[in-house]
């Protein structure tokens, strides 16, 4: 059942208060991608156990699989069932139209990512389309996130090492961040400082000195995408510097897949898959709890 405009605006107001708390209290909130209901259960249970605010997020593939409105309803249902502070983010929205649909559905956070959808998009196109979403979001109060650059990697498990000489070419700059924020009016800037999508055979390394300079250059929130496979001390320091949101996907997908493979192999005669899933989402829940601890958001929920 859809939310009323009053309910949507109440939710986005709470979401904005959460972002203010991250800055004032020096923690980051985890934004956890879900592929299915089991993953959502894992995130909700972790949030409840750790007394932490969380963002649940879906990108274009998950929206097509589960449905934009269906995800909204599921998040609201589990938010009420578990009594947690939980918000919904459209991650890497490929178009203005998709972003507007999510805003209409009551998503509190919108990530419009023109550069990811079209690597050849011009600076002018990226700015114009991002600003269009910012303007549209004012009706509900949804927070809009974006970036002027293509993010490397993919939300998968990679065999290759990280080529930081290439990755550094896509790093954000303080000057570029300031110019983009001023041109678009976004609420959250997605910084590139060594974070990249996917899980790699070596740990990721974040340029925290660059992050500090970006933080000093802009007044809005900062997010980090591609948080999987990053040592915890980077998250702790990033939150202290002033990162408000950190995205996690591949670490959750990896443990989901590996645990499911084990459970299936151990239960060859069981065909009621629903009976096998608790062990799977328990493993995912443990990953989410670990990230929450690293982000410093444990005990920070406000209901």
Query: Which CB contacts under 8 angstroms, 24+ apart, belong to 111-114?
Result: 111/57, 111/144, 111/145, 111/146, 111/188, 111/190, 112/144, 112/145, 112/146, 113/146, 113/147, 113/151, 113/190, 114/146
- Catalytic, 35? Answer no
Residue 31, SS3 per DSSP: strand
Distance CA 60, CA 145 (A): 16
Nearest to 223 by CA among 110, 116, 67: 110
Please identify which of the residues 35, 60, 80, 91 carries the catalytic annotation. Answer: 91
- Compute the distance between CA of residue 144 and CA of residue 153 in angstroms, rounded to an integer: 23
Angle at 57 between CA 121 and CA 228, to 5 degrees: 85
Tally of CA atoms within 13 A in the half-sphere of 276 that contains its CB: 17
The 8 Å CB, 24+ separation contacts for 44-47 are 44/78, 44/79, 44/81, 44/82, 44/84, 44/86, 45/82, 45/281, 45/285, 46/285, 46/286, 46/288, 46/289, 46/292, 47/82, 47/84, 47/85, 47/86, 47/288, 47/292, 47/301
Residue 173 backbone class (left: φ over 0; alpha: ψ -120 to 50; beta: rest): beta
User: Which residue numbers are catalytic?
Assistant: 91
């Amino acid at each position: 059942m859809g939310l009323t405009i009053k309910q949507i605006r109440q939710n986005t107001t709470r979401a904005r208060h959460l972002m203010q708390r991250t800055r004032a209290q020096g923690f980051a909130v985890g934004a956890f991608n879900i592929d299915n209901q089991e993953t959502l259960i894992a995130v909700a249970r972790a949030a409840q156990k750790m007394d932490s605010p969380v963002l649940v997020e879906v990108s274009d593939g998950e929206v097509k699989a589960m449905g934009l409105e269906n995800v909204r309803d599921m998040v609201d249902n589990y938010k009420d069932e578990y009594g947690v502070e939980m918000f919904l983010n459209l991650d890497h929205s490929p178009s203005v139209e998709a972003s507007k649909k999510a805003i209409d559905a009551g998503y509190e956070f919108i990530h419009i990512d023109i550069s990811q959808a079209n690597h050849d998009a011009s600076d002018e196109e990226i700015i114009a389309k991002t600003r269009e979403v910012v303007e549209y979001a004012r009706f509900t109060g949804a927070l809009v996130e974006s970036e002027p650059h293509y993010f490397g990697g993919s939300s998968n498990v990679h065999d290759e090492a990280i080529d930081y000489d290439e990755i550094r070419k896509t790093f954000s700059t303080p000057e570029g961040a300031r110019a983009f924020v001023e041109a678009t009016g976004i609420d959250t800037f997605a910084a590139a400082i060594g974070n990249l999508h996917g899980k790699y055979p070596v740990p990721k390394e974040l340029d925290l000195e660059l992050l500090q300079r970006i933080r000093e250059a802009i007044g809005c929130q900062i997010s980090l995408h591609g948080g999987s496979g990053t040592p915890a001390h980077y998250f702790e320091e990033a939150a202290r510097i002033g990162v408000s949101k950190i995205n996690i996907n591949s670490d959750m997908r990896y443990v989901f897949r590996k645990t499911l493979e084990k459970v299936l192999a151990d239960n060859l005669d069981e065909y009621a898959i629903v009976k096998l899933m608790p062990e799977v989402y328990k493993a995912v829940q443990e990953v989410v709890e670990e990230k929450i601890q690293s982000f410093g958001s444990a005990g920070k929920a406000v209901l």
